[in-house]
């Protein structure tokens, strides 16, 4: 029974994606909707992403300063560790996990509410490709905006590490900057953006799927929003592991 449900949901998900990425009927309408989604996802999520990234960098710096205390490892390694751990793992993964909770649940609730109020049925009667109109702008907007949010998170996290490591006196400003500039690999930035793009696609498409096929009343809509967050987070972590295995 569980395998049957999984295969059924997988088939519906793939069919929705196939319909969702067909040629738009009205380019101007799709463009306006994509811009609206970019504003909602990007501008609406920027404050919480910045706040979380600031504390991620600060906590990472303090923890590694504690671990390196009394060892022979040069203190400037704190900046190096904060930079690489942020770029490779913390910025893309933590940011997208947070966005899955904020953006993903909102998308599932929005589309699910339209399904329950029969707005989607009315649009289909008028000949509108609802999967395309409701899903594609959200996915396209996320693929553009979420990597930018991840880049901002990485930058702010390094600043947070600087504040937490330099101001309390764990190390000097010059030592932290030396660590940030040491052993830099551009390939790590490529991994960060690759993860951001994959995670953005997963969290938006899965959330839209949960809302698009919701049935029943308010209880089912709440479950769909919860499932959107849970499944998105699980798939993000699974994709994170697979990318780490394949590309590193």
| Domain boundaries along the sequence of the chain | 32-247
- Give the model confidence (pLDDT) of 210-246 as tens digits: 888 888 777 888 888 888 999 999 999 999 999 999 9
**Which stretches of the chain score pLDDT less than 70?**
none
Q: Give the pLDDT of residue 49.
A: 92
Cβ atoms of residues 86 and 56 within 8 Å: yes
CA–centroid distance for 154 within its chain: 13
Neighbours of 117 (CB within 10 A): 10
The H or E element spanning position 124 is helix 119-125
- Between 186-212 and 91-99, two packed helices, what is the crossing angle to 10 degrees? 10
Q: Give the pLDDT of residue 68.
A: 80
Q: Give the pLDDT of residue 233.
A: 93
The torsion angles phi and psi of 223, rounded to 5 degrees, stand at: -65, -40
Q: Give the pLDDT of residue 232.
A: 92
Q: How far apart are CA 178 and CA 132, in angstroms?
A: 49
Express the helix, strand and coil content of the chain in percent, nearest 5 each: 85, 0, 15
Q: How far apart are CA 158 and CA 144, in angstroms?
A: 23
Cβ atoms of residues 76 and 173 within 8 Å: no
DSSP letter assigned to residue 213: T
Neighbours of 181 (CB within 10 A): 12
Q: Give the pLDDT of residue 93.
A: 93
Beta-carbon contacts of residue 204 (< 8 Å; ≥ 6 apart): 103, 104, 107, 138, 139, 142
Q: Give the pLDDT of residue 147.
A: 94
Q: Give the pLDDT of residue 193.
A: 94
Q: Give the pLDDT of residue 240.
A: 93
Least Cα distance to 133 among 145, 119, 143, 146 occurs for 119
Q: Give the pLDDT of residue 58.
A: 92
């Amino acid at each position: 029974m569980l395998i049957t449900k999984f295969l059924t949901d997988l088939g519906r998900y793939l069919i929705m994606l196939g319909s969702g990425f067909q040629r738009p009927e009205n380019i101007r309408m799709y463009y306006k909707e994509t811009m609206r989604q970019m504003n909602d996802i990007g501008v609406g999520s920027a404050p919480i992403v910045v706040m979380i990234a600031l504390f991620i960098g600060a906590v990472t710096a303090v923890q590694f300063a504690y671990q390196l205390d009394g060892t022979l490892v040069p203190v400037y390694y704190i900046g190096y560790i904060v930079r690489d751990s942020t770029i490779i793992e913390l910025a893309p993964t933590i940011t997208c996990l947070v966005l899955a909770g904020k953006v993903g649940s909102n998308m599932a609730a929005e589309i699910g509410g339209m399904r329950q109020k029969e707005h989607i049925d009315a649009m289909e009667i008028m000949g509108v490709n609802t999967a395309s109109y409701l899903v594609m702008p959200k996915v396209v907007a996320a693929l553009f905006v979420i990597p930018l949010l991840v880049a901002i998170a990485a930058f702010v996290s390094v600043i947070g590490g600087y504040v937490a490591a330099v101001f309390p006196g764990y190390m000097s400003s010059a030592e932290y900057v030396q660590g940030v500039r040491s052993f830099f690999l551009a390939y790590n930035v490529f991994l960060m953006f690759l993860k951001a793009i994959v995670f953005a696609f997963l969290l938006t498409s899965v959330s839209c799927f949960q809302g698009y096929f919701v049935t029943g009343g308010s209880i089912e809509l709440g479950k769909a929003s919860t499932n959107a967050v849970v499944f998105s987070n699980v798939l993000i972590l699974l994709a994170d592991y697979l990318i780490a295995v394949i590309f590193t």
